[in-house]
Amino acid sequence: MPDLLSTATALHALAGLETSLDSIREPCLDFLDSLWDNAGGFHGHWADDTLDCEYTFYGLLALGHLSL
């Protein structure tokens, strides 16, 4: 099952290698959108019912790399 921690750290590593994220930007944004909650945080994966500050950090990290 895809999860936010793996996605964020992979995007962070790719950005550190100065790899273009153009080909994966939209699918990643769709995935992040599926984990966003209107309460203002992110879920860690699709089966996670709890919001927490750690996954919100990873969500923001991923969004930051995808916004470049």
Could you read off the pLDDT of 47-60 as tens digits, one per residue?
A: 999 998 999 999 99
6-30: pLDDT as tens digits: 999 999 999 999 999 999 999 999 9
Q: Which residues contact 56 (CB under 8 A, 6 or more apart)?
A: 40, 41, 42
Helix locations, the chain, DSSP H: 4-16, 25-35, 53-66
Residue 66 contacts residue 19 (beta carbons within 8 Å): no
pLDDT at position 11 is 98
